[in-house]
Structure 1
Amino acid sequence: MTDLADLQAGIDVDRAEELFDSLASVTVEEILGRWHGSEVPTGHPMDGLLEVSGWYGKEFADADHVHPLLFGTPGSLYAVNPKLMPLGTLNRLGPRFPRWMPPGGAAGFRLARTRKHRARLREVRFRGTVSAAMVYDDLPIIDHFHRLDENTLLGAMDLRGSQRPYFFLLERD
């Protein structure tokens, strides 16, 4: 199953891991640019949180300059400092707090805006394969990427304290 709509509708976490492991690796240079993201529901405690938050995606300017969290809509996108997002808390609370929002709803993320790049890209071994990965500057998180097709990546967020990866898609803008 590699149809985007099927993945966005949800997949068993074991199947998501199998799919991720079966996909080709990518280099840092191959993924430079801006990407629109969506979730792959697997039953992970963070399922649904990015969607309700208004997350747009990621921007990889070069290996050392990455905006890991873009919010808004094309023409009015803004980067958010992930250090100001309670990702660890959300991971622990999971379904008990599925609709967390900052004060003012998704617009409240504007309070955490940044112009500074908050992550970098490196090639990292994960689940036996070396591929491009995004390393957050201030958080114990690494997002690993494999190629689903020419313009789509399957991402696996490796978040300290999480038993299984959180899966998401990135489609090239």
Structure 2
Amino acid sequence: MSTRERFDELRSAVAPTPAQLDELWSDLEVATVEDMLGHWAGGDFAMEHPASALLEKIKWHGKWFDGPLDVSPIVVRSDDGGIEANAAAAGGGAASVWSVEFRGESTATMVYDAMGVFDHFKKVDGDTVVGIMNGKLEPVFGTNDLYYFWLEREK
């Protein structure tokens, strides 16, 4: 089974496990800062992480990487159907993207300005990445469990 097929299977799975996602993660190519530039729509894996409920509540749409030091981590769908960066939602504020070591590899990593949380990225393909959120998650989400999600490049 190809990496893309494994990703699609886990994305549509009722309850993928962290072990299954970690196995996929280990087979993915690291994303670079340059790979992340652009606008992305996102979603997550059905793991019942508290971040899922919060992001659903605020109508999370994705992330905008307009430059290494110009990242909007919380892009939401507005009530009128538009899409906008929301600096106040979920303490999102702003962010930057750096190359940071995670699990022995240097990956493109989004660093939130307002909280000690990091989103690490690896590529499924040129237009799809898997992210793992880690850091000081407990104050934000009530758990230190990693949060697994995905982004797809907007055309």
Q: TM-score, normalised by structure 1?
A: 0.73
Q: How far is 1:124 from its partner?
A: 0.4
Aligned equivalent of 2:73: 68
* Residue 170, structure 1, aligned to residue 151, structure 2: yes
Q: Which protein is richer in strand relative to its size?
A: 2
Match of 1:7 among 5, 11, 15: 11
Aligned equivalent of 2:128: 152
* Residue 35, structure 1, aligned to residue 48, structure 2: no
Match of 1:77 among 75, 79, 83: 83
Aligned equivalent of 1:129: 105
- Asked if 1 retains the 8 angstrom alpha-carbon contact of 2:60 and 2:74, the reply is yes
Task: Tell me, in whole angstroms, the C-alpha distance in 2 between the residues paired with 1:30 and 1:86.
Answer: 25
Aligned equivalent of 2:21: 16
- Asked if 2 retains the 8 angstrom alpha-carbon contact of 1:119 and 1:134, the reply is yes
Task: Tell me, in whole angstroms, the C-alpha distance in 1 between the residues paired with 2:75 and 2:52.
Answer: 18
Matched ranges for 1:92-131 at <5 A: 118-131=94-107
- Asked if 1 retains the 8 angstrom alpha-carbon contact of 2:30 and 2:122, the reply is yes
Task: Tell me, in whole angstroms, the C-alpha distance in 2 between the residues paired with 1:72 and 1:136.
Answer: 20
Residues 33 and 71 (structure 1), Cα distance of their counterparts in 2 relative to 1, 3 Å cut: same
- Asked if 1 retains the 8 angstrom alpha-carbon contact of 2:11 and 2:45, the reply is yes
Q: How far is 1:22 from its partner?
A: 1.8
| 1:98-121 Cα deviation digits (max 9, x unpaired) | xxxxxxxxxxxxxxxxxxx71000
The number of residues matched between the two structures is: 142
Gaps of 5+ in 1: 88-116
- Asked if 2 retains the 8 angstrom alpha-carbon contact of 1:39 and 1:48, the reply is no
Task: Tell me, in whole angstroms, the C-alpha distance in 1 between the residues paired with 2:62 and 2:96.
Answer: 15
Q: TM-score, normalised by structure 2?
A: 0.81
Gaps of 5+ in 2: 1-5
Task: Tell me, in whole angstroms, the C-alpha distance in 1 between the residues paired with 2:48 and 2:21.
Answer: 11
